[in-house]
Amino acid sequence: MEFIATTATAAEKLKRLAKTLRKTTGTSLAVALDAVAKQHGYEHWKHVAVCLEQTASASCSKPLPESLKDLLDRAAARHPASVESQRAFAQGFVFAMDVKDAEELSLTSEYAECDDGWYLAARDLWRGLAHYRDDETGTTLFETHSPEDLASTALDDLQNYRLFRYSGAATPASLEEAYKQTSELSLFPPTHIWLSGKFIDIGEVPEIRVNGQLVLSTSPGFTVLQSDDRRTRYEKFGHLLNAAERSLFDRMTAQEQDSLLFQLEKQTPIGQTRYQPVHSSLTSNWRDAKKI
């Protein structure tokens, strides 16, 4: 298949066109996606997904701008991450979450917030940020921003994330296993993962399957599936639903049902022992980084 530079914005536009075509023709979404892809020079929708992933990889492989590299070098010298955090990024398992999604995250004793490792994460996150080419302007932040503005924008972008490291005995052996572990802590997926020294942008992964079940996909309209977890929680905690909750339960979406059962689980003695609310200090730490 021919490589066609494809940004996330471009792929999203094609998805919207496919949805419109589906409504007007009554065809299936899969057929509409393939049709729109062919209209824009691709062989099929899978071709779009492959090009999107290759474009993202090419951006991330570009060198970090010197202004950002210098900032991170100063941060590493003045406020080095703990040995545990450095080991987690180099050999273990770290994941990032959107700050709002992280409010619903409940950590077990095997996880800890990794607020001291922000500059380690930034070395990967900022490559994509600095070299991402906007479809509307055709330019990148690296091309249009001064070194000072680029550093300020990059530091502001970090405040969209919170970082967590795994301190358990056995590091997940695969992305699928790592993703499954995070799904046990939150209904929301991570945005990025560092696994055994490899950086993974979840937004660029075509799909993830756990135990043969599709749990994440770049296909439009796909919702994260957690039916196995929901079934287990219902079997264990469904009896704790009161009359009002039970009458609403069947009308809820799968995600809403799992959220309700998850809250019930956390209220039990075992749940209170296992799950610990997360308290973040990342925002202040990253604001202080601007002084470096």
Q: Which two tokens stand for residue 6?
A: 């494809």
Q: Which two tokens stand for residue 101?
A: 């999604």
pLDDT value of residue 289: 58
Candidate ranges 7-11, 44-48, 92-96, 222-226; pick with highest mean pLDDT? 92-96
From the list 75, 166, 156, the residue with the least C-alpha distance to 113 is 166
The reported pTM is 0.63
**Cross-strand partners of 107:** 276
Q: How far apart are CA 229 and CA 114, in angstroms?
A: 26
As a whole number, the mean pLDDT across the chain is 81
pLDDT value of residue 38: 94
- Round to the nearest angstrom and report the end-to-end CA distance of the chain: 46
The arithmetic mean of pLDDT across residues 67-88, rounded, is 94
Q: How far apart are CA 93 and CA 283, in angstroms?
A: 22
Q: How far apart are CA 49 and CA 292, in angstroms?
A: 39
pLDDT value of residue 278: 52
Provide the percentage of residues in the chain whose pLDDT is more than 70.
79
**Cross-strand partners of 194:** 94, 199
pLDDT value of residue 269: 56
| pLDDT tens per residue, range 170-197 | 999 999 999 999 988 888 889 999 999 9
Which position has the higher pLDDT, 288 or 24? 24
> How does residue 45 score in pLDDT terms, banded at 50, 70 and 90?
very high
